[in-house]
């Protein structure tokens, strides 16, 4: 009699077998690696990992280091500005292109192109553009404005904004295409209805269209935020963390500690702090988003 219910574990067998390598990788590499890192952040590891417990020493040292504090501050400034500006610029560009303009393909390609470049190339390009001797400052002075000064990468107070410009130049294109895809997915009849209702275009965007694009915004947010937290190569290529320690960021601090200062324990502690920060942001959001997922349509 086939009336007994088949064991749930053996349903979709082939799919489950196919997923095993990925599950194993995820468990061992991501989860295992993470736990290992957290554990060793409580040790006095130097050049090599050693299980010599020092309690919270590494963390106390971390939070007493000026370079780390500057890194955190830079990440906050860069992250906040990047997040706001990349969304504003990306969305406005997408909204402009969505007006069925001519040469749309060309413009889209030109704006998306920077995203295809490596951060290292972007960093170098903008290092030149912002260099007072070759770049913008030089060009404007060549036009006759002799006192013009624009050298963000050489001024410790604003150097991080020089990096921000490069980051925006590279990131806006991606946000734009994602937003454009979202805008193109909007039923044209909704636009027509809003026009019959007499809603001005900007109001229609804010109160009708953007709320309808929520899924696109969430996806874009995840991509942009992960890009911000792990920013490293742009800094290395563009400023090397300088002038002084003016453009240091947490990921670079971790790398420097682990592979240049031969201080693994300190590097692990810094990475753990980054993980905790991300978790503090992601977990409440995930609970909000997926916790009551049954109510979504």
Partner 1 sequence: MKNSVEIKNLDLQFGAVKVLQNLNLEIGKGEFLVLLGSSGCGKSTLLNCIAGLLDVSGGQIHINDRNVTWAEPSERGIGMVFQSYALYPQMTVEGNLSFGLKNAKLPKSEIETRIKHASEVLQIEPLLKRKPAALSGGQRQRVAIGRALVRDVDVFLFDEPLSNLDAKLRADLRVEIKRLHHKLQNTMIYVTHDQIEAMTLADRIAIMRGGQIMQLGSPDEIYGRPVNKYVADFIGSPSMNFLDGQVKNGAFQVGDLTIPLDGYDFADSSGSAEGPATIGIRPEHVVTGELVENTPFQIEVEINLIEPTGSDTLVDCEVAGHHFRVRMDGQSKVSVGEKLRLGLAPSKASLFDAKTELRL
Beta bridge partners of 53: 43
HEC per residue, 88-144? HHHHHHHHHHCCCCCCHHHHHHHHHHHHHCCHHHHHHHHHHHCCCCCCHHHHHHHCC
**Choice between 52 and 192, CB closer to partner 1:** 192
- By CB under 8 A, is residue 69 in contact with partner 1? no
**Choice between 136 and 199, CB closer to partner 1:** 199
Of 87, 104, 81, which Cα lies nearest the Cα of 176? 87
Kindly state the smallest distance separating residue 221's Cβ from partner 1, in Å.
17
**Choice between 81 and 199, CB closer to partner 1:** 199
Kindly state the smallest distance separating residue 214's Cβ from partner 1, in Å.
8
Question: 43 — phi, psi (to 5°)?
Answer: -115, 175
Q: Say how many Å lie between the first and final Cα of the chain, rounded.
A: 39
DSSP symbol at 155: -
Site for partner 1 in 180-239 (CB under 8 A): 187, 189-190, 192-200, 203, 207-208, 211-212, 214
Kindly state the smallest distance separating residue 100's Cβ from partner 1, in Å.
12
Kindly state the smallest distance separating residue 290's Cβ from partner 1, in Å.
18
**Choice between 9 and 196, CB closer to partner 1:** 196
Kindly state the smallest distance separating residue 106's Cβ from partner 1, in Å.
20
Q: Is 281 helix (H, G, I), strand (E, B) or coil?
A: helix
Of 269, 259, 249, 278, which Cα lies nearest the Cα of 63? 269
Kindly state the smallest distance separating residue 203's Cβ from partner 1, in Å.
7
Kindly state the smallest distance separating residue 225's Cβ from partner 1, in Å.
23
Binding mask 33-62 for partner 1 (x = CB under 8 A): ------------------------------
**Choice between 11 and 294, CB closer to partner 1:** 294
**Choice between 128 and 207, CB closer to partner 1:** 207
**Choice between 53 and 207, CB closer to partner 1:** 207
Of 131, 139, 92, which Cα lies nearest the Cα of 111? 92
Contact 166, 122 (CB under 8 A): yes
Contact 65, 207 (CB under 8 A): no
Kindly state the smallest distance separating residue 217's Cβ from partner 1, in Å.
12
DSSP symbol at 246: T
Distance, in Å, from the CA atom of 127 to the CA atom of 113, rounded to the nearest integer, reads 18
Return the structure tokens found at 147: 């006192």
Residue 119 contacts by C-beta under 8 Å, 6 or more apart in sequence?
Answer: 170, 233, 234, 237
**Choice between 60 and 197, CB closer to partner 1:** 197
DSSP symbol at 153: G
CA distances from 255 to 39, 41, 226, 259 (A): 18, 14, 17, 6
Q: Kindly determine how many residues on this chain lie close enough to bind partner 1 according to the rule CB under 8 A.
A: 19
Which residues contact partner 1 by CB under 8 A?
187, 189-190, 192-200, 203, 207-208, 211-212, 214, 297
């Amino acid at each position: 009699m086939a009336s007994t219910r088949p064991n749930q574990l053996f349903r979709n067998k082939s799919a489950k077998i196919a997923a095993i390598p990925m599950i194993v990788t995820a468990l061992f590499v991501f989860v295992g690696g993470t736990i290992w890192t957290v554990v060793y952040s409580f040790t006095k590891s130097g050049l090599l990992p050693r299980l010599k417990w020092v309690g919270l020493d590494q963390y106390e040292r971390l939070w007493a280091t000026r370079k780390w504090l500057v890194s955190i501050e830079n990440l906050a400034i860069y992250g906040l500005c990047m997040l706001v500006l990349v969304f504003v610029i990306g969305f406005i560009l997408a909204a402009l292109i969505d007006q069925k303009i001519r040469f749309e393909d060309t413009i889209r390609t030109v704006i998306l192109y920077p995203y295809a470049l490596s951060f290292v190339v972007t960093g170098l390009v903008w290092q030149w553009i912002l260099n007072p001797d070759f770049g913008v400052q030089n060009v404007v002075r060549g036009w006759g404005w002799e006192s013009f000064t624009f050298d963000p990468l050489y001024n410790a107070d604003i150097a991080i904004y020089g990096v921000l410009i490069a980051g925006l130049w590279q990131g806006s294109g991606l946000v734009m295409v994602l937003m454009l895809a979202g805008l193109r997915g909007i039923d044209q009849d909704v636009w027509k209805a809003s026009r019959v209702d007499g809603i001005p275009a900007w109001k229609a965007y804010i109160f009708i269209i953007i709320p309808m694009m929520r899924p696109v915004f969430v996806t874009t947010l995840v991509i942009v935020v992960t890009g911000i937290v792990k920013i490293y190569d742009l800094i290395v290529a563009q400023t090397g963390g300088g002038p002084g320690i003016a453009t240091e960021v947490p990921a670079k601090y971790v790398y420097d500690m682990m592979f240049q200062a031969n201080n693994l324990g300190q590097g692990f502690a810094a990475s753990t702090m980054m993980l905790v920060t991300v978790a503090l942001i992601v977990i409440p959001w995930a609970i909000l988003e997926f916790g009551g997922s049954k109510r979504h349509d």
